[in-house]
């Protein structure tokens, strides 16, 4: 039994485009001898599911297009297809839609499986749209009995959730008491550091436990904040990963399942990447897809001479081509000559164009405009924010005039403590490194320099003390703890969910803990107006539940 | 049996403040002879539930504080309290928390009920935090057997959900086969036009069906986008609303349940408000609470001479006091003298201060800054956006310098079609009328003028053709369909969920439908960076599911 894994780059809601993509992959798999093909979860409408799925006419459109595809597959004698799709709930109670796997064969659409354990992670909010199913589906085909599981339906085991089962139900265990020749898992799992490894462990463990090969097909490509990494997997009945599709790229993988029913080999497949390589590839894919799926080809960003904008420029040049990235230098009287020189050297290394637009004149003009009202006040952050906002306006003018998407260069450490100016450096269509702590920004910059074999990002940019340069001799460390300490504290609080007492137990200074937690909560109003951020962690801002803005609780 | 309904204004996450508020209400109810008191849903931590509930230390803090409160109630011989609170799930599987009703009596905390039908509406995302219960709870007290239901647990009946049950389960029906003397419903239902009436209908219907009095306690007050209207209700066993607490204000209502076990009277209680009065009250409360819960007392907004900023100024003056609202006039060379005069007349009517900051100089300066790069281009929306962004910068400078919260004045019709400038007129901490269609803005303005007995909002502002005044003689109608048509189309699409074909069937012009739907989808990137909007409809932007930005599907 040759099974084809169709790892496609899909677009939320664009059914016709997705069908073209899937059809092309199916044809390719057929050429390679696939007898049965499988897509990722909700491949028809693309992950993540969106509000569009609450529209009856859209669901009907999905139904018609799925039926057409079934007809086309039959007419062209392509292999039968197990496809992830939203399908109307046949029962007149509960939500009107289900997250399904449908089998397209003999010109017909048969619903095989309905997702049981619905996701609720802030990006994938199955609960808004879908009525859950009650157990895994079964696909009988060519003498094989496949268990079919969608997404999280395979994720439930005591071993993997901090000692606590995520759900009461365990659909795989329930099904496997009846046995299966293999398990097929259609997934739409977005990239997060460590997340792919965890999913792999769960699948490997299940394959070995039930002595059943597992085929797991994942989506690939950027979709707003989510970056689907692909990396579809095939395990033998001993839980060994025997084949893996490309990471961060489309792929069609055709695998002979027969030999995987036994422990054919201990040889692990799959590419090992360092953390930095994974993040680099994810962000490049995320930028490329966000820009192109928005219908843009060119980008613009501000180059400050700092590490954040330097790294974003390097990612953008890789994603879009150096000729499509424009850097704007906007020196003020507080900008050092070093910052200007470093930015120009960076742009020269990358081969990208720059324009310099000094902002002193605008600072002066606004100063005069506000003078009558500000006469009896002292300079404060108002004037610093003003500079940042003049730069924001300038970048947006170049974005609007030349149809270039503005890339935002803020990092996660800044966003956490509100060390940014709303409508200033927070401007942009996409937060490219907004889910990277400052220390990760440094590590990724060093990594890309090493990979390129020279200082693509000039050494001076990496070595200088971080500064917003909004007043003379300003350093980030005037306002913030040193980044290694700040990042460690934020990781413990946001990632490990350590609260005040636990942070203090871990050795962080009490005054520092209180200050950082206060800053963190007080910056919620800024974060809620930030551009969407490419997610590379399990605890990105804007991911999962929300925090209140208007609360006296700090 | 005298039961006290504690309708409190609560703050998400601020446990200590909420306990003080509840304690004060409990003391008041005790003075009025209450033998048993009831709060709204999740009163301890305030609705909506937030990410803070995923923190173990916070849950432990909730537990300790609840225990303390129980001790204090016992020590001070206050009436026992049925309180909504997040409480740890005793079972070591599933999510670690449940949305509970706990009974505080004899110094003890007893969990009575765990919410079964979890909310997932984008504001209340119970699914992120809570493991569902399996059925209603029962409270035996002083010879009474109360069924206890939280929030949506009472909402499930075929009659009320477009011919489709929202859930498979019907916890009230399940419970009522065993009978109850009365049903207590702890709710946290946010305001939406028509929503309160619907909730009332469901409860009235259930009371009559099961021949059981119902006591429903709702939260009151603004919490970010959500505005809880209060209006707690008491029904007799024939489904007649016999008592209702204040709308849009804190209240303590003590009711004798004994007489309600029979159909004591057909006389309906409750205040009837017009749609405009409801919206006015909701927005005033929403602004007041957002500003004060953020720790501010003063606000600033831009006065353009148009109807939107005029209405927001009137709402802000009512909410915060006229002395706390500052209007900034920012005329450009394209501003008409009428706009300036009208704004000054409005401010004079409201008794609020204004400052005028002409922006021509800044337009000129940026023009010079961009001239070398823009030399071979024609003026386009870049220059229009620039004016709007200069105003945004100016408003933020006054906000920063004087510690005044900037109120955003955009409406829903504009937000829908993207007729606004990101980082320009989209600036602000709170979208005051962002969930009002333009026609509702007019209607509310007429209503407040009528209520005040004179043209508080000058007639000239209401009568003039809407214009952004970003180029000579510009009118909104140059770029957009007339608002009555646009609003009708948007209401049909967003509210009634009519898709393209249905809109055309309803008689909208095909070209217009296609244009508006394209604009709507293309403006998603702006809406995702807009400030939080006060919600007054069931289909506010940012409420419920999300839409993708980067999609080729238009």
Nearest to B381 by CA among B407, B412, B419, B408: B419
For the cut 70, the answer to whether the pLDDT of residue B169 exceeds it is yes
Tell which wins on pLDDT, A74 or A480: A74
Residues of A in contact with B359 (CB under 8 A): 369
The values of phi and psi at residue B102, to 5°, are: -115, 145
Q: B40: helix, coil or strand?
A: coil
- Closest-CA residue of A relative to B16 is A553
How far apart, in whole angstroms, are the C-alpha atoms of residue B414 and residue B438?
8
The reply to whether A51 touches chain B by the CB within 8 Å rule is yes
For chain A, the average pLDDT equals 94
Of the partner residues B11, B129, B390, the one whose CB lies closest to the CB of residue A551: B11
- The shortest CB-CB distance from B553 to any of A14, A427, A429 is to A14
* Three-class SS state of A319: helix
Hey, are the CB atoms on A544 and B422 less than 8 Å from each other?
A: no
Which positions in chain A touch B547 (Cβ < 8 Å)? 50-52
A165: nearest CB among B94, B166, B366 = B94
A208 compared with B167, residue with greater pLDDT: A208
Chain A residues lying within 8 Å of B18, measured CB to CB: none
Does the beta-carbon distance from B222 to A550 stay under 8 Å?
Answer: yes
Percent of chain B topping pLDDT 90: 81
* Nearest CA distance, A365 vs chain B (angstrom): 6
Size of interface A-B (CB pairs under 8 A): 280
A547, B51: Cβ pair inside 8 Å? Answer: yes
Instruction: Write out pLDDT tens, residues A263-276.
Output: 888 999 988 899 99
Q: What is the pLDDT of residues B453-490, one digit of tens each?
A: 999 999 999 999 888 888 888 888 888 899 999 999 99
User: Model-level pTM?
Assistant: 0.96
Distance CA B116, CA B297 (A): 40
162-201 in chain A: CB under 8 A from chain B: 163-168
Residue A366: what pLDDT? Answer: 98
Are B406 and B428 in contact, with CB atoms under 8 Å apart?
A: yes
CB contact under 8 A, A381 and B370: no
- Mean pLDDT confidence for B205-218: 96
Residues A109-147 pLDDT 10s: 999 999 998 888 888 889 889 999 999 999 999 999 999
Chain A environment of B17 (Cβ under 8 Å): 552-553
Angstrom distances, CA of residue B200 to CA of A224, B82, B160, B276:
40, 22, 11, 19
Q: Which stretch of A66-80, B81-95, B173-187, B466-480 has the lowest confidence by average pLDDT?
A: B466-480
Q: Does A552 touch chain B (CB under 8 A)?
A: yes
Nearest to B552 among A11, A122, A129 (CB): A11
- B385 touching chain A per CB within 8 A: yes
> What b/e sequence results for A329-344 when a residue is b if at least 16 CB atoms lie within 10 Å of its CB, and e otherwise?
bbbbebbeeebbebbb
Q: Is A358 on the interface with B (CB under 8 A)?
A: yes
Say yes or no for a CB contact (<8 Å) between B370 and A545.
no
User: Is residue A265 within 8 angstroms of chain B, CB to CB?
Assistant: no
Q: How many CB atoms lie within 10 A of CB B74?
A: 15
Residue B533 in contact with partner chain A when CB distance is under 8 A: no
Provide the β-strand partners of residue A255. A3
> Which residue on chain A is closest to B378 by alpha carbon?
A401
Cis peptide bond prior to A48, omega within 30° of 0: yes
Task: Say yes or no to pLDDT of A370 above 90.
Answer: yes
Range from A369-378, A422-431, A512-521, B48-57 carrying the lowest mean pLDDT:
B48-57
Question: Cβ of A321 under 8 Å from any chain B Cβ?
Answer: no
With pLDDT > 90 as the criterion, what percentage of chain A qualifies?
Answer: 82
Smallest Cβ distance to B551: which of A49, A293, A551? A293
A362 interfaces chain B, CB cutoff of 8 Å: yes
pLDDT at B65: 98
Q: Does B429 touch chain A (CB under 8 A)?
A: yes
Q: In this structure, are residues A513 and A504 in contact, taking their beta carbons and an 8 Å threshold? A: yes
- Put simply, the answer to whether A545 touches B51 (Cβ < 8 Å) is yes
Chain B within 8 Å of A135 (Cβ-Cβ)?
no
Mean pLDDT across chain B:
94
Q: Does residue A63 sit at the B interface (CB-CB below 8 Å)?
A: no
Quick one: pLDDT at residue A335? 92
Over residues B148-160, the pLDDT tens digits come to 999 999 986 543 4
Which one of B50, B94, B392 has the shortest CB-CB distance to A548? B50
User: Do the Cβ atoms of B463 and B438 come closer than 8 Å?
Assistant: no
Closest CA of chain B from A459, distance in Å:
30
Tokens of B167: 């859930």
Select the residue of B13, B358, B544 nearest A553 (Cβ to Cβ).
B13
Q: What residues in B contact A418, CB-CB < 8 Å?
A: none
Is pLDDT at B161 greater than 50 in this prediction? no
Closest to A462 measured CA to CA, from A328, A309, A326: A309
- Residues B325, B298 contacting (CB under 8 angstroms): yes
Cα–Cα distance, B237 to B232 (Å, whole number): 17
pLDDT confidence band for A319 (50 / 70 / 90): very high
A64 touches chain B (CB under 8 A): no
Check CB contact of A499 with chain B, cutoff 8 Å.
yes
Instruction: Please report the pLDDT score of residue B545 as a whole number.
Output: 61
- Say whether pLDDT at B249 is over 70: yes
Whether the predicted pLDDT of A163 surpasses 80: no
Interface check A90 vs B, CB under 8 A: no
Supply the ipTM of this predicted assembly.
Answer: 0.95
Say what angle helices B438-452 and B307-320 make with each other, to 10 degrees.
Answer: 50
N- to C-terminal Cα distance for chain B? 59
DSSP H helices, A50-129, are 56-75, 126-129
Give yes or no for B510 touching A (CB within 8 A). Answer: no
Helices A307-320 & A275-293, crossing angle to 10 degrees? 60
> In this complex, which of A15, A94, A127 lies closest to B168 when CB atoms are compared?
A94
Distance from the A45 Cα atom to the nearest Cα atom in chain B, whole angstroms: 10
Q: Which two tokens stand for residue B295?
A: 């720790």
The distance of A33 to chain B (nearest Cα, Å) reads 32
Answer yes or no: do B365 and A362 touch at CB < 8 A.
yes
Q: Which of B165, B396, B529 is nearest residue A389 as measured by Cβ atoms?
A: B396
Rounded CA-CA distance A497/B430 in Å is: 29
Say whether pLDDT at A345 is over 60. yes
Mutation site for A-interface testing, chosen from B393, B406, B494 by largest number of A Cβ within 10 Å = B393
From B242's Cα to the closest Cα of chain A, the distance in A is 32
For residue B548, list chain A residues with Cβ-Cβ distance below 8 A. Answer: 11-13, 48, 50, 223-224
């Amino acid at each position: 039994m040759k099974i084809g894994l169709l790892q496609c780059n899909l677009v939320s809601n664009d059914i016709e485009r997705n069908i073209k993509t899937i059809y092309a992959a199916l044809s390719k798999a057929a050429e390679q001898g696939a007898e049965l093909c499988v897509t990722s979860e909700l491949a028809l409408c693309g992950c993540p599911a969106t509000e569009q799925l609450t529209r009856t006419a859209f669901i009907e459109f999905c139904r018609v297009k799925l039926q057409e595809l079934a007809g086309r597959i039959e007419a062209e004698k392509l292999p039968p297809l197990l496809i992830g799709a939203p399908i109307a709930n046949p029962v007149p109670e509960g939500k009107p839609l289900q997250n399904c796997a449908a089998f397209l064969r003999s010109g017909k659409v048969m619903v095989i499986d309905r997702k049981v354990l619905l996701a609720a992670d802030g990006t994938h909010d199955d609960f808004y749209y879908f009525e859950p199913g009650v157990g895994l589906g079964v696909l009988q085909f060519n003498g094989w009995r496949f268990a079919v599981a969608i997404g999280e339906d395979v994720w439930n085991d005591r071993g993997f959730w901090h000692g606590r089962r995520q759900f009461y139900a365990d659909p795989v265990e329930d099904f496997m008491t009846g046995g299966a020749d293999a398990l097929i898992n259609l997934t739409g799992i977005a990239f997060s550091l460590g997340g792919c490894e965890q999913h792999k462990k769960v699948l490997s463990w299940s394959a070995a436990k039930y002595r059943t090969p597992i085929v797991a097909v994942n989506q690939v490509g950027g979709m707003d904040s989510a970056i689907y990494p692909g990396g579809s997997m095939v395990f033998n009945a001993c839980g060994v990963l025997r084949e893996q599709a490309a990471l961060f790229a489309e792929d069609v993988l055709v695998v002979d399942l027969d030999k995987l029913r036994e422990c054919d080999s201990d040889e692990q497949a799959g590419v090992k990447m360092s953390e930095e390589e994974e993040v680099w590839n994810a962000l490049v894919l995320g930028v490329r897809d966000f820009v192109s799926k928005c219908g843009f080809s060119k980008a613009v960003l501000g180059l400050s001479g700092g590490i954040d904008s330097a790294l974003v420029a390097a990612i953008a040049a890789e994603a879009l081509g150096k000729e499509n990235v424009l850097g704007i230098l906007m020196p003020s009287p507080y900008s050092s000559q070093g910052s200007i020189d470093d930015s120009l050297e960076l742009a020269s290394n990358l081969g990208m164009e720059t324009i310099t637009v000094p902002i002193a004149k605008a600072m002066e003009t606004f100063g005069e405009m506000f003078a009558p009202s500000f006469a009896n006040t002292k300079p404060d952050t108002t004037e610093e924010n003003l500079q940042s906002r003049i730069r924001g306006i300038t970048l947006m003018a170049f974005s609007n005039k030349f149809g270039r998407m503005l890339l935002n260069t803020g990092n996660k450490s800044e966003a956490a403590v509100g060390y940014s100016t709303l409508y200033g450096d927070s401007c942009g269509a996409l937060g490219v490194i907004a889910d990277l702590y400052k220390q990760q920004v440094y590590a990724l910059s060093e990594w890309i320099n090493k990979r390129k074999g020279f200082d693509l990002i000039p050494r001076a940019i990496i070595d200088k003390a971080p500064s917003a340069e909004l007043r003379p001799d300003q350093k980030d460390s005037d306002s913030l703890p040193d980044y290694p300490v700040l990042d460690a504290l934020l990781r413990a609080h946001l990632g490990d969910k350590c609260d005040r007492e636990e942070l203090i137990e871990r050795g962080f200074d009490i005054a520092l803990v209180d200050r950082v937690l206060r800053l963190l909560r007080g910056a919620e109003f800024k974060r809620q107006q930030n551009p969407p951020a490419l997610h590379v962690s399990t605890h990105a801002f804007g991911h999962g539940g929300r925090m209140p803005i208007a609360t006296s609780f700090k």
